[in-house]
Amino acid sequence: MGKKFLSLIIVPHSKSNSRTISFSKKTVKGFLWGSLVVGILLAAVTVDYVRIQVSRKTYRALLGENQKQKESLARYQASIGTLNKKVDSLETYVKKLNIIAGIKSQDVLKEVGIGPVSVPAGDDQVVPAPPSQIQPGNLKSISQKADDIQKNFDTLLNLFESKRAELATMPTISPTVGWQTASFGWRTDPFTQMQQFHRGIDIAGSIGNPVVATADGIIVRLNQDKIFGRSILISHGGGLTTFYGHLSKFLVKAGQKVKRGDIIGELGNSGKATGPHVHYEVHLNDKAINPYFYILEEE
């Protein structure tokens, strides 16, 4: 029996002869099956392509969302860090108020890390230690510290109301406007290059700038020598005194009463000085105290 054929007859519009193309049924079946397979493959590829595009779009969206979350987290951590610093700063401020109010001694400030670290000192020197910090992000710890500070503030406000006159004699302001060039504690002497304990702070400025009394008191002594040049000693009562050195001019007299903020002299470089500045000391019962413990003005 002969092979079965399918014929395709092509009849042109022109008068030319028609053409007949014959295919075996096997060829037609092969073509149809091939077309089906190709169609399925194309459909699969199309579906896979669409899936990849959708996945790609979803991935980009998730990536963008992840980036936004990272940025939000970074801002949150920065905010927590800023809050932590503010709470620490406020805590230091309140501790100073406690010292001024006489509730605690200067030793409590060892926790906040002011000045040199673990330096040998004599009996008349106060040498603080390094800081203790709240770990960033510890909201519970920060919140607890803020609550403690608030409670302490309330106690201090009540106390200060009853001690206004006494507090007026506390040296709570800076003696002049300028920038601190030397702190309280051990340092290398700029003249001898030897280690020497600096019993006050140095605040540099322009010659002639006003120097003020840091608290109410009485001018005990005006002096002039080779070390501190023109200097003033003020007694504030209760064993508390302040000392101002390297002045260029006196504007008060011995025995004169002064109020906090009264101008007592002018900044200079008299005596043993590398440049214009005020050497400022605070003494309690003849013991040198870091003036930082008393100054409440913002730096």
pLDDT tens string 84-123: 777 777 777 777 776 666 655 555 444 433 333 333 333 3
Dihedral sign of CA atoms 225, 228, 232, 234 in order: negative
Given this model, what pLDDT does residue 125 score?
A: 40
State the DSSP code for 183. -
CA distance 252 to 254: 7
CA distance 168 to 175: 15
φ/ψ bin of 189: left (φ > 0), alpha (ψ from -120 to 50), beta (otherwise) = beta
Q: What is the pLDDT along the chain (299 residues), one digit of tens a residue?
A: 455 566 666 667 666 666 766 667 777 777 778 888 888 888 888 888 888 888 888 888 888 888 888 887 777 777 777 777 777 777 777 777 766 666 555 554 444 333 333 333 333 444 343 344 445 446 667 777 777 777 777 777 666 666 677 778 889 999 999 999 999 999 888 888 888 899 999 999 999 999 999 999 999 999 999 999 999 999 999 899 999 999 999 999 999 999 999 999 999 999 999 899 999 999 999 999 999 888 886 54
Given this model, what pLDDT does residue 131 score?
A: 41
Given this model, what pLDDT does residue 133 score?
A: 45
List the structure tokens of 211.
Answer: 């120097």
Radius of gyration over every alpha carbon of the chain, rounded to an integer in angstroms: 43
Given this model, what pLDDT does residue 181 score?
A: 92
Which domains are assigned to the chain? 97-164 (no CATH), 168-293 (2.70.70.10)
Output the DSSP codes for 46-113: HHHHHHHHHHHHHHHHHHHHHHHHHHHHHHHHHHHHHHHHHHHHHHHHHHHHHHHHTSS-GGGGGGB-
CB atoms within 10 A of CB 280: 24
